[in-house]
């Protein structure tokens, strides 16, 4: 068990945490797939992007492999100020601009990771803008890929593309044909991702380019907002700063969480080995009820504290679900949930307690 004082005493820089994670996962990292290549990354300074860049930094330092990364960001200076480990990286070149109108690089690009999407609660309050930004951003990145002769593209989509998950559906399969409701304004994100996927399929059909879809679910790791709409981030914040974790609902919702270091390795494997025009769920299939998740956070970070569930429910079953099947990624690409949830929570708090 880790007390709050112990946690603050053992805070570590982000790259130190990430590097230790990648060393632990080294057998799953195929660095040679990127030897001599140029990779374009959008969303490079978001939660996904920082872990992707950290993996590239680790590969450059520990493996005998050379590659170039072109990273798109609206404000790379701000990111470098918060992450000085990336400043001066010879393998990295920044492209400053918005995903909807950035300037194309004047060179050939081998592969593209499109991970730029605003997932904040604020973005969700402007569904029209959110939908347009996803669609226009995808159109721009695909146009760039064509102009730069990219042969492989990984589009980072979302499990939101399935729409709601029925209680009687234990895990969402890639073969499901469910979709978000077009009458629900909250569907803008999921519908935008569906259009992204369709645009990718059209691009693959019309060009000599493989397009792979990563439908991403829920994650935990350094950089996850602790003041947003992510339950696990809120729980970690409260475990570090409050006397107890309070759950306003009934705590019966069901989620699963993949650690960010695992996520970065998954995305690299999908980029290099995923099948053209194939959808892969990205996440964990190890489900946990929200109330139990809060108790696990407390047990990992502040065992002297308590969890209070304020909501009541007459239903004997679980509440809403958001859990993928990852059998396809596991069986076809050798991917798995390598980091146990308690370790994922602990490592997230190591950095987040310093930066919250």
Q: What is the pLDDT of residue 168?
A: 87
Predicted confidence (pLDDT) at residue 87 exceeds the cutoff of 60: yes
Domain spans of the chain, in order of start? 4-220+258-283+323-340
Tens of pLDDT, residue by residue over 283-301, are 999 999 999 999 999 999 9
Distance CA 135, CA 18 (A): 32
Q: What is the pLDDT of residue 166?
A: 87
What's the whole-number average pLDDT of the chain? Answer: 92
Predicted confidence (pLDDT) at residue 122 exceeds the cutoff of 80: no
Predicted confidence (pLDDT) at residue 228 exceeds the cutoff of 90: no
Query: Counting every residue, how long is the chain?
Result: 356
CB burial of 222-244 (b: ≥16 within 10 Å; e: otherwise) equals bbbbbeeebbbbbbbbbbbeeee
Tens of pLDDT, residue by residue over 188-206, are 999 999 999 999 999 999 9
Backbone angles phi, psi at 337, to 5 degrees: -90, 100
Q: How many percent of the chain have pLDDT more than 70?
A: 92
pTM, to two decimals: 0.94
On the CB side of 93, CA atoms within 13 Å amount to 13
CATH placement of domain 4-220+258-283+323-340: 3.40.50.720
Tens of pLDDT, residue by residue over 2-60, are 444 444 434 579 999 999 999 999 999 999 999 999 999 999 999 999 999 999 999 99
């Amino acid at each position: 068990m880790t007390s709050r004082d112990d946690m603050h005493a053992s805070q570590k820089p982000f790259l130190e945490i990430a590097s230790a994670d990648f060393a632990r996962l080294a057998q799953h990292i195929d660095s040679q797939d990127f030897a001599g290549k140029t990779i374009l990354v959008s969303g490079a300074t978001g939660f996904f992007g920082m872990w992707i860049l950290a993996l590239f930094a680790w590969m450059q330092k520990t493996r005998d492999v050379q590659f170039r990364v072109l990273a798109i960001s609206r404000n790379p200076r701000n990111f470098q100020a918060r992450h000085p480990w990336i400043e001066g990286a010879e393998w990295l070149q920044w492209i400053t601009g918005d995903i909807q109108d950035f300037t194309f690089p004047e060179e050939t690009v081998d592969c593209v990771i499109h991970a730029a999407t605003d997932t904040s609660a604020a973005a969700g309050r402007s569904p029209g803008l959110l939908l347009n930004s996803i669609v226009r951003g995808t159109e721009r990145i695909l146009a760039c890929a064509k102009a730069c002769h990219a042969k492989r593209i990984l589009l980072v989509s979302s499990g939101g593309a399935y729409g709601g998950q029925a209680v009687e559906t234990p895990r969402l399969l890639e073969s499901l044909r469910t979709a978000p409701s077009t009458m629900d304004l909250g569907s803008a994100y999921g519908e935008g991702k569906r259009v992204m996927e369709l645009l990718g399929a059209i691009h693959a059909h019309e060009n000599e380019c493989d397009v792979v879809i990563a439908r991403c679910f829920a994650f935990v790791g350094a950089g996850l907002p602790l003041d947003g709409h992510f339950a696990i981030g809120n729980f970690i914040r409260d475990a570090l700063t409050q006397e107890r974790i309070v759950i306003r609902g009934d705590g019966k919702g069901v989620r699963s969480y993949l650690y960010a270091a695992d996520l970065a390795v998954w995305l690299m494997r999908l980029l290099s080995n995923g099948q053209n025009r194939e959808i892969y769920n990205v996440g964990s299939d190890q489900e946990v009820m929200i109330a139990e998740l809060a108790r696990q956070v407390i047990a990992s970070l502040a065992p002297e504290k308590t969890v209070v569930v304020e909501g009541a429910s007459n239903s004997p079953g679980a509440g809403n679900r958001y859990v993928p099947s990852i059998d396809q990624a596991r069986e076809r690409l050798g991917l798995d949930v390598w980091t146990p949830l308690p370790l994922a929570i602990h490592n997230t708090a190591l950095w987040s307690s310093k930066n919250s």
